[in-house]
Amino acid sequence: MYRTDLTSNKEDAQASIAWDFVSDRLAGSPVHLFFRAGQCADAIFAQEMRKNGLTPRQYAVLVTIVQNEGLSQNNLAKRTGIDRSTLSNIVRRLLNKGLLSRQRRQEDARTSSITLTNAGLQAIQIADPIAARIDNRILSLVSAKQRKQFMIELAAMVKLFSFTRSKMETFLRAV
Q: Residue 4: what pLDDT?
A: 42
pLDDT tens digit string along 100-139?
999 887 777 778 889 999 999 999 999 999 999 999 999 9
pLDDT of residue 1: 36
Strands (E), 21-166: 100-104, 112-116
Residue 121 contacts residue 27 (beta carbons within 8 Å): no
Q: What is the pTM of this model?
A: 0.76
CA distance 70 to 59: 17
| CB distance 42 to 56 below 8 Å | yes
Strand partners, 101: 115
Question: Per-residue pLDDT for 169 more than 60?
Answer: yes
Q: Are strands 100-104 and 112-116 parallel, antiparallel or unpaired?
A: antiparallel
Instruction: Determine the Cα–Cα distance for residues 150 and 154; give it in Å rounded to an integer.
Output: 6
Q: Which pLDDT does position 165 carry in this prediction?
A: 62
Which of the two residues, 27 and 160, has the higher pLDDT score?
Answer: 160
- List, in sequence order, every beta strand (DSSP E) within 20-84: none
Q: How far apart are CA 132 and CA 149, in angstroms?
A: 19
Share of the chain above pLDDT 90, in %: 52
Helix (H, G, I), strand (E, B) or coil at 102: strand
Instruction: In whole angstroms, give the CA distance from residue 69 to residue 102.
Output: 11
- 36, 46 Cβ separation under 8 angstroms: no
Q: CB of 60 within 8 A of CB of 127?
A: no
Give me the pLDDT at residue 88, please: 94
Does residue 64 carry a pLDDT above 90? yes
Q: What mean pLDDT value characterizes the chain?
A: 84
